[in-house]
């Protein structure tokens, strides 16, 4: 940014232009942050202490967004991501940074938020408490359903798009889920074949319909306390003529193959992306699964808010107990915490 009298003038930049930028920090989304001519530049995939070549992709009044072309000088904390899908998948942002350094930058992010937004520079932020093994920790995942060339697939979306990224392994979810996800892929493919063979025939009314593929998402959730699992099918319409009979039969088969799946639920999502607030029904088993932290128990429904990392939630609870120094005479109110976490 340059100045002419009291007027601010943007540097002469155009989209597509290539720049060399020194990265100084990270934003809350894990994007590298640098400055060029006094203007902030965000560069996904870059790290602090790096010099990078960037192609300008977006220019706004106060910031620039760039695409990483080349790392000219790499950070000593840069590593090879563990996941083969990392470059295309939008699920992770910092696998190319060592875990120790990730924890340090989380601490810095909180410090900066308190200082700049909260105007609380004097608040002490302790080092982030990390995990011994920071993989396979998620207790819930939401997978999108994609259909291309008569093949049904499950996966995540690329960052900022609806482009499906299929995977055969994800280092964030338990390894035992991978077989279940593949089984569900196979099941959806069977249903799609059934639709093709029947031409959306409505057996009740004896007519053909113009129904599309009904399944939008599949959610998996597991209790790390009991081991029981929930599978939620998010569908676009409840009146698809072939779906009800097929899903009832397939739900029983899925439970027989994987007895830990004790809750199979259908949610109808006519409008919203995530299906919240829409009707749901139990297809097989029960509506809720039981989770536990210490001596506390929680019943989780399909849309219950619950901390995604069960192990670290227990660490958080112990830390709160230590800081609170409760003697048993207090009254505590748990507000705005989902099921109570």
The rounded mean pLDDT for the chain is 88
User: Averaged over 194-206, what is the pLDDT?
Assistant: 64
**pLDDT value at residue 335:** 80
The pair of three-digit structure tokens given for residue 188, joined into one six-digit string:
């959806």
Please give the Cα distance from 78 to 26 (Å, whole number): 14
Determine which of 46-55, 246-255, 306-315 has the lowest per-residue pLDDT on average: 306-315
**Taking residues 14-21, what's their average pLDDT?**
94
Q: Would you say residue 201 has pLDDT above 90? A: no
In this predicted structure, the answer to whether residue 202 has a pLDDT above a threshold of 60 is no
The residue that leads in pLDDT, 136 or 295, is 136
pLDDT at 148: 83
- How far is it, in rounded angstroms, from Cα 1 to Cα 61? 10
Dist. CA 302–CA 304, nearest whole Å: 6
Mean pLDDT along residues 180-193: 96
First to last CA, the chain: 45
Domain 140-300 in CATH 2.40.50.1070: yes
Q: Do domains 13-75 and 140-300 have the same CATH topology?
A: yes
Residue 214: half-sphere exposure toward Cβ, Cα within 13 Å: 23
Q: pLDDT at residue 3 above 50?
A: no
Specify the DSSP element, H or E, that contains 257. helix 243-257
Q: In this predicted structure, what is the pLDDT of residue 280?
A: 86
Distance, in Å, from the CA atom of 134 to the CA atom of 130, rounded to the nearest integer, reads 8
pLDDT for 154 beyond 60: yes
Judge whether 32 and 46 are in contact, CB under 8 Å.
Answer: yes
pLDDT at residue 209 tops 50: no
- Mean pLDDT over 13-35 rounds to 95
Top CATH class of 13-75 equals mainly beta
Strand order in the sheet with 215-222: 164-166, 151-157, 140-148, 215-222, 229-235, 261-268, 280-285
pLDDT of residue 2: 39
Confidence of residue 298 (pLDDT cuts 50, 70, 90): very high
Among 68-82, 200-214, 234-248, whose mean pLDDT is lowest? Answer: 200-214
Provide the pLDDT confidence category of residue 191 given band limits of 50, 70 and 90: very high
pTM here is 0.86
- The structural domains of the chain, with segments of one domain joined by +, span 13-75, 140-300
pLDDT at 127 (0 to 100): 96
Q: What is the pLDDT of residue 4?
A: 38
Q: Name the pairing type of β-strands 229-235 and 261-268.
A: parallel
User: Would you call 201 helix, strand, or coil by DSSP?
Assistant: strand
b/e per residue, 2-15, with b = 16+ CB within 10 A? eeeeeeeeeeeeee
Question: Are the CB atoms for 261 and 180 separated by under 8 Å?
Answer: yes
Residue 296 has pLDDT above 70, yes or no: yes
pLDDT of residue 260: 98
């Amino acid at each position: 940014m340059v100045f002419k009298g009291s007027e601010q003038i943007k540097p002469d930049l155009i989209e597509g232009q290539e720049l060399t930028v020194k990265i100084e920090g990270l934003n809350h989304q894990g994007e590298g942050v640098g400055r060029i001519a006094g203007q902030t530049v965000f560069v996904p995939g870059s790290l602090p202490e790096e010099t990078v070549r960037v192609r300008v992709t977006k220019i706004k009044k106060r910031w620039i967004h760039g695409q990483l072309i080349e790392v000219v000088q790499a950070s000593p904390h840069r590593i090879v991501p563990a996941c083969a899908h990392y470059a295309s998948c939008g699920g992770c942002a910092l696998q190319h940074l060592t875990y120790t350094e990730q924890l340090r930058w989380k601490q810095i992010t909180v410090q900066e938020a308190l200082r700049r937004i909260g105007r609380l520079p004097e608040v002490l932020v302790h080092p982030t408490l990390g995990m011994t093994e920071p993989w396979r920790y998620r207790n819930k995942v939401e997978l999108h359903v994609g259909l291309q060339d008569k093949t049904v697939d499950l996966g995540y979306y690329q960052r900022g798009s609806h482009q499906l990224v299929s995977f055969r392994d994800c280092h964030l979810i338990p390894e035992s889920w991978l077989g279940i996800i593949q089984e569900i892929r196979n099941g959806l493919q069977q249903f799609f074949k059934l639709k093709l063979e029947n031409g959306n025939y409505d057996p009740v009314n004896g007519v053909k319909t113009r129904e599309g593929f009904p399944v939008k998402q599949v959610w998996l959730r597991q209790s790390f306390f009991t081991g029981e699992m929930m599978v939620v099918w998010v569908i676009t319409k409840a009146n698809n003529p072939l779906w009800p009979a097929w899903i009832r039969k397939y739900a029983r088969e899925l439970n027989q193959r994987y007895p830990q799946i004790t809750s199979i639920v259908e949610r109808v999502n006519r409008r919203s992306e995530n299906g919240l607030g829409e009707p749901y029904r139990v297809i097989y088993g029960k509506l809720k699964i039981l989770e536990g932290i210490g001596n506390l128990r929680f019943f989780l429904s399909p849309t219950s808010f619950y901390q995604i990392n069960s192990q670290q939630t227990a660490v958080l609870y112990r830390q709160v107990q230590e800081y609170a120094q409760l003697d048993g005479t207090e009254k505590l109110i748990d507000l705005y915490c989902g099921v109570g976490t």
